[in-house]
Every structure is written in C-alpha cells, then in structure tokens.
C-alpha cells in the first residue's frame, strides 16, 4: 500500500529538469497564509512549549466549535478531540472500531492512506464504486449481501473526494445513514476539503442531516485549508467516545503540538480564515476550469474527466482501456509532467487506465503546458498493457 505514491515521489526527486507537478495534494507556499502564520507563531504565550492537554487546547477547541457552527454543525466540547492532522483521526477511528478481519467498505478509488490505515488494523476492504454523485450507495446492500456479512465501518470522503473530486449527493447521504443504522456500522466521514468549495451550493454534512447520530465519526484537518506542516486537525464524535479517544491519543503522541494549536487559534480568532479562503478559492476555481479546458483541447474524447465543485483533484479515465498509467509514469516524467497513477487508490489493482491530477497548485498556463506534455507522453510511449 502506498508504494505507487512512494515510488512516484522518489522517481520525481531524481529528476532535475522542469516538471509540471500535478501529483502532490498539498497547497504550495503561495497558497498558504505563510506571513500571518509566521506572525502568530511568534506571539509569546506562557506555557506554549510544555505539554498540552490530550483533548486539545481549550481556546483552539473553542475556535473549532465556532468554525463548525458557522458551517451548520452545532457541536460541543465533549465531542471534539484535537488530532495531529487528519491521519491521526483516521488512525483513531480504526483503532476504536476495526478489529482484525472486520469488513470495512471503502470507495473505489479512495485515499491511499485511508486504505492503508484500515489495513494496518487488519480490516478486510470491500471496494464500492463511485460515480459523479459520489459513492454509489444504492449498490451497497447487494455487495454486502453477496459478501455474506455486514460491515463494521464505511469509510467515505463526501466532499471533493480524493482522488476523484466527486461529491456525495444529499439523497445518498441520507441513504448511507439509513444503511449504517441498519448494519450497526460506523461511518468514518473524512472531510479535509469541504471548506474548499468554489462552485455550486454546499450539501448538508452527515452531522447536519442527522445531528447527534452516534454512528458518525467525523475526521477533519486544516492541512488543505491552511498548511499541512502544522499537523493540526480534529475528530468530532459522540461524547461517549471522548474518553476512549483521549486514552488512545495519549498512547500515540500525548498531545498535538501546542505551538501549532496556538498559532492556528490566533489565526482563526483574528478572522483571517474567510479572506484566505476567498483568495485561494478563486484561484482553485480558475485552475480547475483551466485543467478541464486543457484536457479537452489536448485529449478531446480520448479521456473522460470529472468536474469537481471544490478541492484539489480531478480524475481522468482514458477511453482506451489499454492505457497503463503506471507504465506511463516514467515517460511522463521524462516529458516533464507528474501525476499519480490510478492503481495507487485501490487495493485491488483497479484503475490502471485512470490517473489523478492536482489542479490546485499550478497556474493556468502551466496547467496547459502540463496537459500538453501528458498528451505527448501518451503519444510517444505507447504505454499499453
């Protein structure tokens, strides 16, 4: 697991020529509020460099509650546990709910490290299909019936999914809540990109649809919204889980970095989030559109691409199922463009004829150049199965 991304990253590091980088899903320096974060990081705060409380700094938890309330989810301090990024939230979810051999439904394709975390706790993954409205919830009963047992958890990325960019529709969110209740399954609701909507109206979150539902375990992070190096996120879950989460986190890292929490608290309390989002979202929107135009111009009907309303990623499937995007990776790098091959997002080796592109970090001109290079790589390499 993760090896396709790891080997892609090390291959990328070996190349010194100009490469258009569509691979990584992290905001570039110019998309992070670096100056403000630096300024707040320098604020003197007594006790800033000692251990903090495992559940999180109270002022930071207040800011999280305010942020969630502004986006329709009235939460409470005993529902929130601060985490060291979204990854720790996923790890905590699996630690609490996944025992060896348990069935976990995942989206196919899905976030590589989500799969890796569930597998590290011994989960058996059931990969369920996605379409332009997210996880195809309607087929879950049949898939589960065929497998002969019910899932312990369902892992979903409802907004601007990684890697596909698609968003789960309202009807499917409601249906997912019903199925989880029927099966007694937890829903691991991983939403790092939800605040990065640049088109159309928000869809109510699972928590907004069914407030207080104890089956919803929400994993959040500021990595994509502010800066991944801060390693600051949180989980929002039923209060009965709070002591378990605190115990589990205590044994992982005692507490999330106090200086990082202080810095983000001052950033949020100063009202800087919305202006930051306003700036980056208009760039992301322009870049998404530029990528769709470039794909159309250079590939036409040879590919089908998703059309995300937010987030970082767009998923490209080749019309010719013989194209092998893992084999194409090195020729594409030589041509000067990097992406993540589709099989990185499946434990079944699916999606050999698809790839993920991050549109967020390149200018429209570079996007056009990168897509042109991708086309040249396809034409030259004959990277077929």
311 touches ligand PMP by CB under 6 A: no
Strand order in the sheet with 216-221: 80-83, 233-236, 216-221, 186-190, 153-156, 103-108, 124-131, 134-135
111 touches ligand PMP by CB under 6 A: yes
First to last CA, the chain: 21
156, 167, 223, 265: which one contacts ligand PMP (CB under 6 A)?
A: 223
221 touches ligand PMP by CB under 6 A: yes
192 touches ligand PMP by CB under 6 A: yes
Could you write out the DSSP letters of every residue in 119-145? HHTTPEEEEEEEETTEE-GGGHHHHHH
- Chain positions 58 to 77 lying near ligand PMP, rule: CB under 6 A, are none
Residue 235 phi, psi (nearest 5): -115, 150
Query: Which residues are CB-contacts of 345 (< 8 A; sequence separation ≥ 6)?
Result: 108, 109, 110, 111, 112, 115, 163, 351, 356
108 touches ligand PMP by CB under 6 A: no
| C-beta closer to ligand PMP: residue 192 or 341 | 192
Query: Which residues are CB-contacts of 256 (< 8 A; sequence separation ≥ 6)?
Result: 52, 56, 82, 83, 84, 88, 231, 232
- Report how many residues bind ligand PMP under the rule CB under 6 A: 13
25 touches ligand PMP by CB under 6 A: yes
| C-beta closer to ligand PMP: residue 157 or 326 | 157
| C-beta closer to ligand PMP: residue 115 or 325 | 115
87, 188, 196, 237: which one contacts ligand PMP (CB under 6 A)?
A: 87
Query: Cα separation of 268 and 222, whole Å?
Result: 11
233 touches ligand PMP by CB under 6 A: yes
Stretch that binds ligand PMP, among 35-43, 82-90, 115-123, 341-349 (CB under 6 A): 82-90
| C-beta closer to ligand PMP: residue 98 or 377 | 98
Closest CA to 346 of 359, 331, 356, 360: 356
Query: Cα separation of 313 and 367, whole Å?
Result: 13
Query: Cα separation of 203 and 263, whole Å?
Result: 30
Spell out, one character per residue from 312 to 351, where the chain touches ligand PMP: x when CB under 6 A holds, - when not: ----------------------------------------
Smallest separation, CB 25 to ligand PMP (Å): 5
228 touches ligand PMP by CB under 6 A: yes
Query: Which residues are CB-contacts of 271 (< 8 A; sequence separation ≥ 6)?
Result: none
109 touches ligand PMP by CB under 6 A: no
92 touches ligand PMP by CB under 6 A: no
Structure tokens at 20: 């258009």
Residues near ligand PMP (CB under 6 A) are 25, 85-87, 111, 157, 162, 190, 192, 221, 223, 228, 233
């Amino acid at each position: 697991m993760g090896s396709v991304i790891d080997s892609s990253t090390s291959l990328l590091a070996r190349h010194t020529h100009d490469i258009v980088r569509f691979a990584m899903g992290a905001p570039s320096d110019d998309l992070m509020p670096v100056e403000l974060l630096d300024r707040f990081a320098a604020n003197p705060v007594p006790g800033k460099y000692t251990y903090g409380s495992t559940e999180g700094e109270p002022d930071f938890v207040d800011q999280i509650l305010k942020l969630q309330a502004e986006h329709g989810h009235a939460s409470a301090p005993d529902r929130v546990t601060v985490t060291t990024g979204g990854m720790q939230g996923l790890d905590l979810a699996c630690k609490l709910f996944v025992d060896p051999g348990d069935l976990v439904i995942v989206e196919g394709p899905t976030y590589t490290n989500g799969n890796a975390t569930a597998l590290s706790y011994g989960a058996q993954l059931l990969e369920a299909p996605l379409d332009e409205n997210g996880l195809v919830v309607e087929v879950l009963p049949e898939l589960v019936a065929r497998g002969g047992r019910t899932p312990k958890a369902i892992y979903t990325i409802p907004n601007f999914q990684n890697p596909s960019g698609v968003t789960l529709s309202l009807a499917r969110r409601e249906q997912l809540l019903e199925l989880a209740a029927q099966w007694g399954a937890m829903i691991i609701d991983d939403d790092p990109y939800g605040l990065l909507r640049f088109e159309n109206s928000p869809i109510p979150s699972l928590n907004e649809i069914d407030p207080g539902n104890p089956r919803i375990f929400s994993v959040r992070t500021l990595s994509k919204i502010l800066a991944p190096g801060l390693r600051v996120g949180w989980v929002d879950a039923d209060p009965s889980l709070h002591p378990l989460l605190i115990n589990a986190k205590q044994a992982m890292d005692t507490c999330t970095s106090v200086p990082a929490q202080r810095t983000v608290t001052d950033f949020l309390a100063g009202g800087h989030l919305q202006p930051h989002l306003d700036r980056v979202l208009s760039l992301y929107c322009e870049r998404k559109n530029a990528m769709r135009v470039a794909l159309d111009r250079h590939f036409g009907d040879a590919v089908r691409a998703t059309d995300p309303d937010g987030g970082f990623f767009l998923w490209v499937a080749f019309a010719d199922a013989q194209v092998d995007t893992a084999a194409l990776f090195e020729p594409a790098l030589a041509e000067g463009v990097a992406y993540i091959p589709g099989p990185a997002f499946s434990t079944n080796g699916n999606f050999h004829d698809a790839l993920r592109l991050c549109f967020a970090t390149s200018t429209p001109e570079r996007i056009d150049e990168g897509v042109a290079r991708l086309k040249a790589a396809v034409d030259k390499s004959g990277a077929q199965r």
